[in-house]
Amino acid sequence: MRVLVVTNITPDAAVPGRGNFVRDQVEALRRERVEVELLTFPTGKRALARSVGQVRRHLRRGRFDLVHAHYGLAGWSAALAGASPLVVTFHGTDVRHGAVGALSRRLVGRVDLVAGASRALFADEGGRPGLPADPPGAVAVLPTGADLERFTPAPRAIARERLGLRGDGRYLLFPAAPDRTVKRHDLAAEVARRADAELLTLGAARPESVPDWVNAASAVLVTSDNEGFGLAVLEALACDVPVLSTPVGAAPLLLRGVHGCLVAGFDPERWSALARAHVDAKDPRVAGRARAAWFSVDLMARRVVQAYEGVLAGAGPDGGS
For residue 192, give the CATH number of its domain.
Answer: 3.40.50.2000
**Residue 244 φ/ψ, nearest 5 degrees:** -115, 120
67 is a domain residue: yes
CA dihedral of residues 148, 150, 156, 159 (deg, nearest 10): -170
In tens, the pLDDT along 141-160 reads: 999 999 999 999 999 999 99
- Kindly state whether residues 88 and 185 are assigned to the same domain: no
- Kindly state whether residues 175 and 99 are assigned to the same domain: no
Closest CA to 86 of 298, 318, 307: 307
Report the domain count for the chain: 2
- Kindly state whether residues 69 and 125 are assigned to the same domain: yes
In tens, the pLDDT along 178-216 reads: 999 999 999 999 999 999 999 999 988 899 999 999 999
Mean pLDDT of the chain: 93
- Kindly state whether residues 185 and 256 are assigned to the same domain: yes
Q: What is the pTM of this model?
A: 0.92
**Domain coverage including residue 177:** 156-294
What lies within 8 Å, CB to CB, of 27 at 6+ separation is none
What lies within 8 Å, CB to CB, of 181 at 6+ separation is none
Residue 178 identity (one-letter amino acid): P
151 is a domain residue: no
63 is a domain residue: yes
Tally the C-alpha atoms within 13 A of residue 232's C-alpha that lie toward its C-beta. 30
**Count of CB atoms within 10 A of residue 53's CB?**
12
